Chains A and B, each alone.
Chain A
Amino acid sequence: MNRRGRKSENMKKSFVKMIAVTLISIFSLLGYAFAQGGELRFCLRTEPKTFDPLKVEDDASGAVRYLTGGVLVRVNRQTQNLEPELAQSWKVSKDGRQISFHVRSGISFSDGTPFTAEDVAYTVQQLMDPALHSPTGDAFRSGTGSVETKVISPTQISIRFPAQVAGLDRLFDQVAILSERSPKKEMAVLGPFMVADYKPGSTLLLKRNPNYWKTDEQGRKLPYLDSIRLDIQPNRDVEILRFKRGELDLINSLDSEYFDKLTATSPQLVHDAGPSLDSEQLWFNEVAKSPIPTYKKNWFRSANFRRAISEAINREDLSRVVFHGHAQPAVGPFSPANKFWFNSRLKPQTYSPDAALKTLQADGFRMENGSLKDKDGNEVVFSIITNAGNKTRERMAVLIQDDLQKIGIHVNVVTLDFPSLIERMTQSFDYEAILLGLTNVDLDPNGEMNVWLSSSENHQWNPSQKAPETSWEAEIDRLMRAQASSSDMKKRKEAFDQVQEIVVDQEPFIFLINKNALSAVSTEVHGAAPVILSPQTFWNAERLTVSAK
């Protein structure tokens, strides 16, 4: 063969190779895009207390409910909008007491039992049964009397509550539908996954629900994953090490310290979704019958005193030093992450020890030899309690201790075990100030009725008041009830905006920071889009895929 012939043959070979490589690439890309199967692995920090979706009150059980339960409507964790799921459409009556659902037909539970509107009626009756004590059902209990369910047809149902339930449709995001007829009871599910194996203290294995009704835009059945393995691992250090070794695919919630460590070595794995709904706050004991000295009660019940403390705390430093910048100074009761309900007129508190001292002087406080004294000559000393073992809160308390020392206030930081702290907070009221956090899972302010109503047991700074002890608390009561009894979202928003303004002005809670939603996701996981709402990383679990291991 001459040189020209050899060259031509080489060219042919190269062309064939090029075609082959291109085809392989295309097929592998297609294979990646349509990858199905595989197992997603991550950790639950505690044992799930129940598999009954109506009895869920802990995070681990909540995660299992989210992955296995089928709901009528779902709050899209990314857009925060309500979207249809098992219900094709729904309608809330003008008085906010009744909701009608038109549910999908031709759907079956994981064990093959058909799903009808009868199952929705059964679930609601179970949910509202006082004997069950369902924490999910508590949100629907707005008045005395029974709930009426009326099945109009196998696909239509109306539910009437004894009193108006504000934000009624969104509450169904948490209600996983049970089967009335299935012998498997709560283990028959309508969600994308079902419980396949459970080894207490070790592992929970969820497998794809073969009867799951959803398909993707191309008509392929969801979920893409074959299974999800949930290891029960309370130790966060071990969780991080296992993630780094590739034994886990994601970490749903990361501390800022670990986030930075992972960022240093593997920045492609970590995600900061921005401020979450969670807040950290400080409050003073304003309970009249508490066993603390009267002069201290007078300090704590003074709005000027609380405002001064708020002005003297450097929130930027709390965010930067304690949370490594993965937190935002809090503005008020609701985080800016709550797109609809946050009052955008509120401005962040400015750090100013000088302004704080001026505010205190208005109440008769004065500085003497570097110590602040009240008008009767009592030195301003108080303790801040927080729960032992929570490193971030302990650090926050030490920073606040240092900040307040600058205006002559001496703070004693006390860390207590959680039961002792709760006992002092709710039973003996033997405390001066508490630093704790509030985990918000509900976007609607109705989820916090038990915090803001002065008659509530969870009105932490002064709970269970027979009648509001201050005019501003009376106003908050009125506004919270007004927003809860209206189905007009604009009016509700206006009322809750006023509540936020009163809280920021009176500072019964001194809101400090809103933590960012931090998570880590392996590069093997495709389709993940971490968000601020729980569950941050696996909210779209049915559309996640995992590369073959």
Chain B
Amino acid sequence: MSLSRKLAYAVLALVLCASGAANWLAPAGYARQYREATDAAPSRMHWLGTDEIGRDRFARVLYGTRISLLLAPAAALLSTLLAAFIGGLAGYLGGAWARVAMAVTDLFLSLPWLFLLITARALMPLNVSPVISVLVTFLLLGLLGWTTAARVLCTTAGSLRASDFVRQATAAGVPRQRLFWIHVVPNLRPVLYAQFWISIPVFILSEANLGILGLGVAEPLPSWGSLLKELEGLVSVGEEPWKFVPLILLVVVVTSFQFLLSRQEEVAA
């Protein structure tokens, strides 16, 4: 294992442990408002200062990391399974099936998802707890994020269908269903892994983008998206570098995933 991968694993492990120990590291919680110390600079009491309504930024980063880092892989798993089912099956069956599945995928890719998500949020019941809202956000990301992976899997499954071992199995009279599950799916696994790892940072960034638009995770629950919203005020950025911490953390985590991903791609190859 290369040093960079070891470092990536170490960083991810550290971030996961810190966010897991949020209750212990930041016992006051993410919602407590210190109204006498709003927008404060880092201090012994508030290691990363406070936000504009006096909430401890360190606590919000820890809890936000927990949310983004746990739910993004869950959404990635959902989208990868959907991609495997739709793309893999279409590629294996080929012909009209593949054409229809890819037409549907293209249609999904061309839809204006941002506006659809805004509409979906507007249609949702209003009295949804912040926890439900965050789950719904990542569920939506998982349900909508399968398209690109499905195209890759369709192509891979198509090439497997034309491979010698599948032809030989077909000639030997292996039923199509058994052939798909026993011979095709295991050969798709490396691609599935790669797609899974790719999706995680994509969903983290998507949630961050939704958070900036005021969608996604509801107050007072923090997420990386809501934390990054603080960077909107260009005037203040140079003067308060500690506000960059959530952004730096996001970059570090996404970069770590990329290092792990390169390993998965090697395995897939």
Contact = CB atoms under 8 A, between A and B. Distances in A.
A432 interface: yes
B53 A399 contact: yes
Contact of A257 (B213, B218, B233): B233
A261 B53 contact: no
B130 interface: yes
Contacts of A415: 214-215
B148 interface: no
B46 interface: no
A394 to B, nearest CB: 7
B4 interface: no
Contacts of B126: 383, 385, 412, 414, 430-432
Interface residues of A, number: 35
A414 B128 CA distance: 9
Nearest to B226: A394
A432 B125 CA distance: 11
A240 interface: yes
Given A383-B126, A412-B126, A412-B130, A237 B213 contact: no
Contacts of A261: 235-236
B215 A388 contact: yes
A257 B214 CA distance: 19
From DSSP, what is the main secondary structure of chain B's interface residues?
A: loop
Given A388-B213, A415-B214, A321 B219 contact: no
Contacts of B53: 321-322, 395, 398-399
A412 B218 contact: yes
Interface string A389-412: 101001101110110000000001
Interface string A259-303: 001000000000000000000000000000000000000000000
Contacts of B128: 412
B206 interface: no
Contacts of A412: 126-130, 218
Given A389-B213, A414-B218, A420-B118, 11 more contacts: A237-B234, A320-B35, A321-B38, A321-B52, A322-B52, A388-B213, A397-B219, A399-B35, A402-B33, A416-B121, A420-B121
11 contacts: A257-B233, A321-B54, A322-B52, A381-B127, A398-B220, A412-B126, A413-B219, A415-B214, A417-B214, A420-B121, A432-B126
Query: Top 6 nearest A-B pairs by Cβ distance?
Result: A388-B214, A420-B122, A383-B126, A415-B214, A237-B234, A413-B219
Interface of A: 237, 240-241, 257-258, 261, 317, 320-322, 381-383, 385, 388-389, 391, 394-395, 397-399, 401-402, 412-417, 420, 423, 430-432
